[in-house]
Structure 1
Amino acid sequence: MTKGYADSVESPSPRHLTAFVRSIAILALQAETQLAWLSRFDGRSPTVDELALEFDDGFGLVPTFIERGWLSNAAVSVLTQLSSQLDSMSGDHNAHLWCADALSGRLEWDRIRASARAALMLLD
């Protein structure tokens, strides 16, 4: 497994915050738009786990983002909930949730989108 930007960066920059907020915005998109975003990966078939991987990279930096005044404490509980929802979907027994069809057909992804929208509303 490759390291995410949270593992490879000594001092997060506003660029990392921007990537994190973008990952939340992508999680908030409708399934069709998420699939269109995923198709940007060199013409390969969409890898749905990319949606969570980018968020996970940034979630590890949330304490630093708050410490630097880039994120409000108000967003922490919703971001933590979103992270927990994604974690609960992980594992081999949940592989069926990480295919393109699941984005539009599974209640779990509807919940992810709702939590991501709630998080975006709290970001300032």
Structure 2
Amino acid sequence: MNEPGPRFAVAFVRSVAVLAPEADAQVAWLENIGAAPSAEELALEFDDGFRLAPTFVERRWLNDTAMPASTLLDDQLGAMSGDPNASLWHIDALADRAEWDRVRKLAEAALILLT
């Protein structure tokens, strides 16, 4: 299997950027890509990139100072997973659930360090 190239690092940064804006922008993005009413796509691309982040840092495509903030974001998204939290993954939850407010704040902090 080939190692991921720089475009995967760019996709990871984009995935963090999609987690940072207000709910209405997230809903519009999900609708645009045809994923709505599910909000899961917001986390799926992030998860794929986060697993590769150590490689991105090793290759100096990303700064390692962003890793603690990215890890906090990953932890928050992980805490939101599972059947008991299924309602969090509908676009209606984006605007009124504290969990998503926390995701946005953590994503914004990570994005500042990634760019």
Determine if contact 2:63/2:114 at 8 Å carries over to the other structure.
yes
CA distance in 2, matches of 1:22, 1:11: 19
Identity %: 55
In the alignment, does 2:90 pair up with 1:117? no
What is the deviation of 1:46?
2.8
TM-score (norm 2): 0.95
Runs of 4 or more above 3 Å deviation: none
Alignment of 1:28-47 (within 5 A): 28-42=20-34, 45-47=36-38
Q: Secondary structure at the match of 1:19?
A: helix
TM-score (norm. length: structure 1): 0.88
Gapped regions of structure 2 (runs ≥ 5): none
Give SS of 1:39's match: helix
Question: Within 1, Cα distance between the matches of 2:39 and 2:53?
Answer: 23
Aligned residues: 115
- Listed as ranges, the gaps of 5+ residues in structure 1 are 1-8
Structure 1 or 2: more helix by fraction: 2
